[in-house]
Amino acid sequence: MVPRVSHNATTARATAAPRLKAAVIGASMLGLDLAERLNASPVLSCELVASRRSSASALRRAAQLGCGVSTEGITAVVQAGVDVVFDASSADAHPAHWAALASADVLLVDLTPSSGGSMLTPTVNAVRAESDRHLSLVSCGGQAVLPVLDAVARNSRVEDVEVVTTVASASVGPATRDNLDEYLAITGYAVERLTGATRAKVMATISPALPAPAFRAQITARAYGIHTRALSDAVESAVAAVRQYAPGYRVGALSVVDDLVRATVTVTARGGRLPSYAGNVEIINAAAVTLAERYARSREVGHRG
């Protein structure tokens, strides 16, 4: 017996907006994980993975995910006619990518520690993804600590902030190692801009330890006028919001002593192709796709209007 399909269901399928086409620049662990997430999205699809520097085996893995592949980098992306571009290349290369796409009707999501674009994290200022066309994800460290520091800033006046991140060596590619100075600079800049802190210092350790440690960020902030219970509730709410897109996100050891706030953020990768220790890749990629999906849904609503 053939099941009956309701008229409403048929109409919904017929009128549903098509998934926006996306391209990824870079075929590192970051880029390949992005491609997999895009193909799992209800509103986005991976049309192309393009890179000049990636190995043939990396591009083969992208092709196995159902994406088109190219060794022509941004040239191939411009010709592909996509709606969204995720730049997972390097801070040095990103300005040229933005220059090539600035005049196109394309959302560019920057996952490099470049200083261009509007700095966003989903729990702080996601609404800007609906209108801005050049989004900066800051860094994996920024995505890990900004939800907590935003909660602190909403409940006190933030002064000095120190962030120390520890990441497993196996989850850090050559571009990230080359851009370590940019990572430290833009993470500190984003903390100051998005929380109002007067000073932010960021340090990072790439750990070769075995077994590989989970991605971790230690936060120390000097803040005034803190109400401990309100802060605890705000951090708990922020954690719940982040875990909607990054389930392995945890905040522990939250304490307030006098005017000093301390907290430890740990991110564990869950599912997919990522090893559990690659929480740095998980947090920034999950945030990037979440913001792009918000853009896609706002565009769908605009078209219906």
Is residue 145 a contact partner of residue 265, using CB atoms and an 8 Å limit?
yes
Can you give the C-alpha Rg of the chain in angstroms?
20
Give yes or no: 140 in active site.
yes
Task: Count the neighbouring beta carbons within 10 Å of the beta carbon of residue 11.
Answer: 10
Instruction: Give the full edge-to-edge strand order of the sheet including 44-50.
Output: 68-70, 44-50, 20-25, 84-87, 107-110, 134-136, 118-119
From 24, 82, 140, 256, active-site residue? 140
Angle between helix 279-304 and 29-40 (nearest 10): 40
CA-to-CA distance for 264 and 120, rounded, in angstroms?
21
- The DSSP code for 171 is G
Active site residues: 140
